[in-house]
Structure 1
Amino acid sequence: MTDMDTDGSHIKGLIINFIHFFWPSLLECGFISEFTTPLLKARHGQKVQSFYSMQEYESWREKTSNADKYTIKYYKGLGTNTTAEALDYFENFDRHRRKYQYNADFDDRMINLVFDKGSASKRKDWILKSYDPKGTVECTDDGHVPYHEFINKELIHFSHGDNLRSIPSAIDGLKPSMRKILYGALKRKLTSEIKVAQLAGYISEQTHYHHGEASLQATIVNMAQDYVGSNNINILEPIGQFGTRLIGGRDQASPRYIFTKLSKFARLLFPSEDDPLLDYLEEDGHLIEPRYYCPIIPLALVNGGQGIGSGWSTTIPQFCPHDLIHYIRAKLNNLDNAAVTLPQIRPKVRGFVGEIIARPDGKGYTSRGVIARHGKNSLIISELPVGRWTSDYKSFLTKMLARGDITSFSEDHSTENIHFQVRMPIAKLLRAEKRGFHKVFQLESNLPTTNMHAFSHDSVITKYSTPEQMIDNDSFPV
């Protein structure tokens, strides 16, 4: 018995995998069954219609001419049900019970396909070939549910939803929760300060958000952060303590204490003239955020992105907004001249004073911090590589100190700038200089371009090899 949304389906799958791994014989003897409760209920007068999946509900809406006259209630969790509803379910126990049926060879392969760490590439093919947005579980004639039916018709919706939440759109660079926040902020014309906690409540109401408001609050904070290594262009303003590069933004204050509003760039990136042209989604009969926004430059490349979904992951470096603008303008100005040399698009991290250089193998870039000799036996580290936080690096230096590689180090940072002074014996300093200070002090990080996945304009996860390819294929196919 779990929640009936896709997260609940994932929990069911994890339990099935757990039992299959440790006690496979229990599957053979029909040990597992589930107790189902409605995910949604539609009410019109005294008439109540229950739905056990979103797909079942959507199918009913398409076939029901007066569906808009029904009041829809979404049952996010088991706790949404009243005592009377729970009693009704258990009084009709057999109607709500679903027994699972095991087919050894086929079901073993399907369970391993979904949960085996070594089957990531096969999971990609499974999702691409098997996912049906309208698919719903069908029982056998005797009321049983085969495990492969559950995996192919129910669990797959979680896998697809997991990718939607984890991988951004190539068009607007946003994930669904980010898009909901932007929609709510634009709808409210958020030019005055509001508490992050209050904004999360407003977004949840306006966009029919079905998850916890804590995750919305965290996303609002992420969209507003402006420390080195966060956003090149933050859509929301950070008014208060939104985190610093000291620990990668995790030192933000509680959402109850910090405020935000739309940044001055928001409507420049998302012009109001485009609003009527967008394809808005529908939830419970209400229009909510669009399928995707169409910013004037590709935010997926401006702010980059990371995420791990089901079968896919993504790592998109950040690129220079000015280069993106010059590239797009050059394309628009030379539509009839395919031979023109277009401007280069270079990586860029706002506030970063180190260097970012192309890797010789063409697989991305290397970011390098800044280190220089200071006097006879000391070094000054004034920048860390992209993605390395001050606190983490202090731990690294502490380990070097414990090993005797250095004799001492001191700190004089601000929330924006880095300053480590490291002292070491002259002989070790000379050896480190010969090996390369960046290598010895781990002041390099990779910014790969080999895993740039994003949803294309037709909602297909697509791999892009270069920022130019993402622009040409999806963001601005001119």
Structure 2
Amino acid sequence: MLQQFLGVVNIVGELRQEVISKRRKKIGLPEKYLYTKDTKSIYYVDFVNRELILSSNADNVRSIPSLVDGVEPGQRKVLFTCIKRNDKKEVKVAQLSGSVAEHLAYHHGEVCLCTTIVSLAQLARLAGGKDYASPRYIFTKMSPLTRLIFHPSDDSLLKHEYDDNQKIEPVWYIPIIPMILVNGADGIGTGWMTKIPNYNPRETVQNLRIMLDGDDELVPMIPWYKNFRGTIEDCGNQQRYVISGEIAIIGNDKVEITELSIGTWTQNYKENVLEPLLHDITVKFVVTCKPGLLVKLKKDSLHKVLKLQSVTHTTSMCAFDELGCLRTFESVIDILQEFYTLLLKMYEKRKDYLEGFLEAEAAQLCNQARFIVEKCSRDLVVENKKRKTIAD
């Protein structure tokens, strides 16, 4: 009973701290830390509800992406460095990681940073990118699509982080579509985890257009993965989906596997699933079974026995919102609507900024034209006069 009571107290404390933290962020105040230079003693409850929660939240920030731009701080540092460098040529991964660590206060080791860069760039399915070569041998560069997704016109509106009074990467970028739905998310922090599948960018854009038109009838969205030829079926409650690869019977004792399930990598599948089960495997995944084995596999369901099926769900969709507060979203539409609301506010800020910039530029051009006219008409004489007289 005591443990249950303490657990309830801890949960209430976390919720209370979350409300206080969100309120402080709304009005632009920093986090309220427990220790100050005058602190001599503290209470256990204050340590748990203030300092310990902040430490746990810092772990969540590193593990769970932001709803706004769909990336974690380490990934955002890499993105910011690539945008700042604006390299047209390929650069070694080791050199890029060194640049990120040097200029953006990265405190977790360059090995982790190299893994982050490779994960952002690789498209291989052989071993999920884990078989990459040494970072000093492989090259990467920023995709041309990056500045189309993260528009340069928004750069002046972004709020930046600071580390020891050094200006580093933004708190978040504002992409033109919710990239957290395009790329998905998967992470585990302290007391929180997130699992957001990938969704079709075309359906996402279509729903954003529907919202702009003021219509509430949005297009239903199910998980979608680029170049995946298998099937994704809803189990009935739109929160659980069965993902199946492709398999075909091409003979009495032969099956052909042409697509694996999402998250199943080719090399691991060959070593862990096919080799213990079958005796002859070609590189095209044409599998020759022992006599009579195929009949047994068909009875037990080929997809299940050959591990060509997996289940994904949307019941743990967590992400940090625009204020840096961790939230759980019930559906993909909730994420889309949250992003849409923020996007409209940022577009209004972008419009105001561009209007102000154009007005300042127009005023400057008018003053330059007036100076030229007055100088030509000799109404303005600046020769042989002191700077102070001209300024007055």
- The answer on 1:397 being equivalent to 2:273 is yes
Aligned-partner Cα distance in 2 for 1:209–1:128: 30
Q: In the alignment, does 2:312 pair up with 1:447?
A: yes
Paired residue type of 1:262 = M
State the alpha-carbon separation in 2 of the partners of residues 278 and 151 from structure 1. 33
Which of 184, 190, 194 lines up with 2:91 in the alignment? 194
| Secondary structure of 1:310's aligned partner | coil
- CA 1:225/1:284 → structure 2, altered by over 3 Å: closer, same or farther? same
What is the SS of the residue equivalent to 1:164? helix
1:423 corresponds to 2:299: no
Give 1:463 deviation, angstroms.
1.4
Q: How many angstroms does 1:396 deviate by?
A: 3.5
1:460 paired with 2:340, answer no
Moved more, 149-158 or 301-310: 149-158
- Per the alignment, do residues 328 and 442 of structure 1 end up closer, same or farther by CA in structure 2, a change over 3 Å counting? same
CA RMSD of aligned residues (A): 2.8
1:314/1:429 Cα in 2 relative to 1: closer, same or farther (>3 Å)?
same
Conserved in 2, the CA contact under 8 Å of 1:123 and 1:311?
Answer: no
Displacement of 1:470 after TM fit? 0.2
Given residue 336 of structure 2, which amino acid in structure 1 is its aligned partner? I
Deviation of 1:140 (Å): 11
1:129 aligns with 2:39: no
Match of 1:410 in 2: 281
Identity of aligned residues (%): 37
Shift of residue 429, structure 1, vs aligned partner: 1.9
Contact 2:273 2:307 in 1 (8 A): no
CA distance in structure 2 between the partners assigned to 1:425 and 1:128 by the alignment: 61
CA distance, structure 1, for counterparts of residue 126 and residue 63 of structure 2? 25
TM-fit CA distance, 1:258? 1.1
* Structure 1 gap ranges (5+): 1-104, 114-118, 228-244, 414-418
Counterpart in the other structure of 1:270: 150
In structure 1, how many angstroms separate the alpha carbons of the residues matched to 2:230 and 2:130? 23
Within a 5 Å distance, the mapping from 1:342-353 to structure 2 comes to 342-353=218-229
Q: C-alpha separation between the residues in 1 aligned to 2:327 and 2:204?
A: 20
Shift of 1:151: 3.7
1:2-55 CA distance string (max 9 Å, x none): xxxxxxxxxxxxxxxxxxxxxxxxxxxxxxxxxxxxxxxxxxxxxxxxxxxxxx
Structure 2 length normalisation: TM-score? 0.77
Deviations 1:163-184 (A, max 9, x none): 1011111111011111111111
Alignment of 1:202-281 (within 5 A): 202-227=99-124, 245-281=125-161
Distance 2:73 2:325 in 1: 15
TM-aligned CA deviation for residue 461 of structure 1: 1.4
Aligned partner of 2:294: which letter?
L
Q: Which amino acid counterpart does residue 86 of structure 2 have in structure 1?
A: K
Mapped contact 2:230–2:246 kept (Cα < 8 A): yes
Is 1:290 matched up with 2:170? yes
Report the TM-score when normalising by structure 1.
0.64
CA distance in 2, matches of 1:465, 1:147: 34
Structure with max Cα Rg: 2
Match of 1:309 among 154, 174, 189: 189
Q: 1:455 to 1:353 in 2, by over 3 A?
A: same
Instruction: Mark the runs of 5 or more structure 2 residues left unpaired by the alignment.
Output: 22-30, 345-392
Q: What amino acid is the match of 1:409?
A: D
- In structure 2, what is the Cα distance between the partners aligned to 1:449 and 1:191? 38
Change (3 A) 1:292 1:475: farther
Deviations 1:131-186 (A, max 9, x none): 66222237999x56655554444333220100101111111101111111111111
Deviations 1:45-93 (A, max 9, x none): xxxxxxxxxxxxxxxxxxxxxxxxxxxxxxxxxxxxxxxxxxxxxxxxx
Could you tell which deviates more after superposition, 251-260 or 457-466?
A: 457-466
Conserved in 2, the CA contact under 8 Å of 1:170 and 1:475?
Answer: no
Alignment of 1:108-119 (within 5 A): none
What is the CA deviation profile of residues 173-226 of structure 1, one whole-angstrom value per residue up to 9, with x for unaligned ones?
011111111111111113221111111111122222222122111111111112
Alignment of 1:53-72 (within 5 A): none
**Structure 1: distance between partners of 2:43 and 2:10:** 19
Partner SS, residue 191 of structure 2: coil
Q: Does 1:361 align with 2:237?
A: yes
In 2: Cα distance, 1:149 partner to 1:458 partner: 23
Residue 319 of structure 1 corresponds to which residue in structure 2? 199
Question: In 1, Cα distance between the equivalents of 2:123 and 2:133?
Answer: 15
Cα distance in 1 for partners of 2:222, 2:274 equals 35
Distance 1:222 1:209 in 2: 17
Q: Which amino acid aligns with 1:288?
A: I
Give the Cα separation in 1 of the matches to 2:275 and 2:218: 47
Question: What does residue 233 of structure 1 align with?
Answer: none
Please give the alpha-carbon distance, in whole angstroms, between the structure 1 residues aligned to 2:85 and 2:104. Answer: 12
| 1:272 Cα deviation after fit | 0.5
AA matched with 1:279 = K
Which protein, 1 or 2, shows the higher relative CO under an 8 Å CA cutoff with sep ≥ 6? 2
